[in-house]
């Protein structure tokens, strides 16, 4: 998206692809440094939460309670955690320190993309060289035109974005499936709780898998079961498979026949 720095007009979207080039640099010496860390609406993806809660050595439910506030994915009823801003610090990101981002190595993917806006829910099933991106030029930002010229593909690599997009693919697929049902299909509260737990509250999802009737209903190999006990990414993938199987009948998980009725599973 683009708007002149001193313009009050609405931002006009400009479509870019992976071969489009940008020239941008964020530096402590710029007068605008950390302004983008105030008064923003940053949603967190499942892989964002994995990285941040591991860095902070917190359980996922504790992290969500401490650092997030409820939001919704646009054009759906699906919940998404938003970073809870600190009102006492001019609505700053809670991870903003005196020298900038205190979790920089594990910062959310939306921060990594900036000043690029990715068409996260518009690119699914489109080949990489046709992906949708847009340039964001906000009035306060002085970083445009600075630094080395890069393609969007190079920027993504430089900012460590590929693993985030890879591990969030299943989440995007579920959201797009929900959107395809249309706005008049009501999503039950229990379904919303399932989605939130499996995508964001992975420690609760792990307890659910290990302590409920889950393993009596779904045939999970011993190898996969051992993996999810120590690997949050593997646990997240199991969550995606469970949601696709349960909500959309995609058959990602094999059912154990005639053992227990699916209704006996309870989501905390």
What is the residue-wise DSSP string for 97-138? ETTEETTGGG--HHHHHTTEEE-TTT-TTS-GGG--EEE---
State how far the Cα of 268 lies from the Cα of 60, in Å rounded to an integer.
Answer: 14
Could you read off the pLDDT of 71-111 as tens digits, one per residue?
999 878 999 999 999 999 999 999 999 899 999 999 999 99
Q: Of 3, 16, 28, 37, nearest to 143 (Cα)?
A: 28
Alpha carbon distance, N-terminus to C-terminus of the chain: 41
Tokens, residue 82 = 């938003």
- What are the C-alpha distances in Å from 161 to residues 17, 77, 125, 152? 15, 27, 19, 11
Neighbours of 130 (CB within 10 A): 9
What are the sequence ranges of the domains in the chain? 15-166, 188-264
Residue 127, pLDDT score: 41
**Strand pairing partners for 133?**
16, 118
State the burial class of residue 251 (Cβ atoms within 10 Å of its Cβ: 0-12, 13-18, 19+): exposed
CB-based contact 32:83 (threshold 8 Å): no
Residue whose C-alpha is closest to residue 16's, from 147, 139, 118: 118
Supply the pTM of this predicted model: 0.88
Locus of tokens 């609760």: 204
Determine the 3-state secondary structure of 255 from DSSP: strand
State residue 253 phi and psi, 5-degree precision. Answer: -115, 140
Q: Which residues of the chain have pLDDT under 50?
A: 1-10, 123-129, 260, 262-263
> Dihedral of the CA atoms 204, 207, 212, 213 (nearest 10)?
100
How long is the chain?
268
- Among residues 115, 54, 116, 108, the alpha carbon closest in space to that of 81 is found at 108
Q: Is 48 exposed, middle or buried (0-12, 13-18, 19+ CB in 10 A)?
A: buried
**3-state SS class at 18:** coil
Give yes or no for a contact between 128 and 111, defined as CB atoms under 8 angstroms apart. no
pLDDT of residue 183: 79
């Amino acid at each position: 998206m683009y708007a002149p720095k001193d313009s009050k007009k609405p931002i006009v979207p400009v479509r870019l692809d992976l071969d489009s080039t940008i020239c941008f640099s964020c530096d402590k010496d710029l007068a605008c440094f950390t302004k983008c860390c105030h008064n923003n609406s940053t949603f967190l993806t499942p892989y964002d939460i994995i990285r941040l809660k591991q860095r902070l050595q917190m359980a996922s439910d504790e992290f969500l309670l401490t650092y997030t506030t409820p939001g919704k994915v646009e054009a759906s009823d699906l919940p998404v955690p938003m970073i809870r801003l600190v009102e006492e610090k001019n609505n700053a990101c809670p991870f903003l320190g005196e020298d900038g981002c205190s979790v920089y190595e594990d910062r959310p993917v939306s921060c990594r993309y900036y000043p690029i806006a990715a068409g996260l829910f518009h690119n699914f099933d489109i080949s990489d060289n046709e992906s949708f991106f847009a340039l964001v030029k906000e009035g306060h930002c002085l970083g445009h035109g600075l630094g080395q010229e890069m393609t969007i593909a190079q920027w993504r690599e430089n900012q460590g974005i590929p693993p985030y997009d890879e591990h969030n693919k299943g989440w995007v697929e579920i959201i797009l499936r929900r959107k395809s049902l249309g706005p008049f299909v009501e999503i039950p509260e229990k379904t919303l709780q399932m989605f939130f737990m499996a995508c964001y509250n992975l420690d609760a999802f792990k307890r659910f898998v290990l302590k409920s009737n889950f393993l009596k209903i779904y045939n999970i190999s011993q190898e996969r079961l051992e993996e999810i006990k120590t690997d949050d990414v593997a646990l997240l993938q199991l969550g995606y498979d469970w949601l696709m199987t349960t909500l959309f009948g995609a058959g990602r998980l094999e059912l154990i026949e005639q053992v227990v009725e699916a209704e006996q599973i309870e989501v905390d």
